[in-house]
Structure 1
């Protein structure tokens, strides 16, 4: 794709670890919330605004040479 000027750079948005309406059923249950939070190395649920830095980087020229890499923004979930 890069030969056509397209540089797809996916971001693993850590959907399970970001506190949004889509994950409400996980964090609305105190027992489940504590279990999930305990499995996140950062020790807290991610906030949507914590994704901004990664999005800005991937949308900027600073990431022009980044290809074939998944940027995990997940509080360390994948590194466990």
Structure 2
């Protein structure tokens, strides 16, 4: 009985990991962002995204995992 409970818990963990990875990939694929490196605030991204040069871009400093990255739109 203990063995079947252990197998059930392991199966649930595997399914949870698979669903989590797939949902992260879906969000990444739908993003309009062109990620250009780490940032602490929006101003850190101006040079990376070439905001002052045509074509003019919108810049965000977005959370991504445990860090923040420049998002050039």
TM-score interval, smaller chain: under 0.3
Higher relative CO (Cα under 8 Å, sequence separation at least 6) belongs to 1
Q: Which has the higher strand share?
A: 2
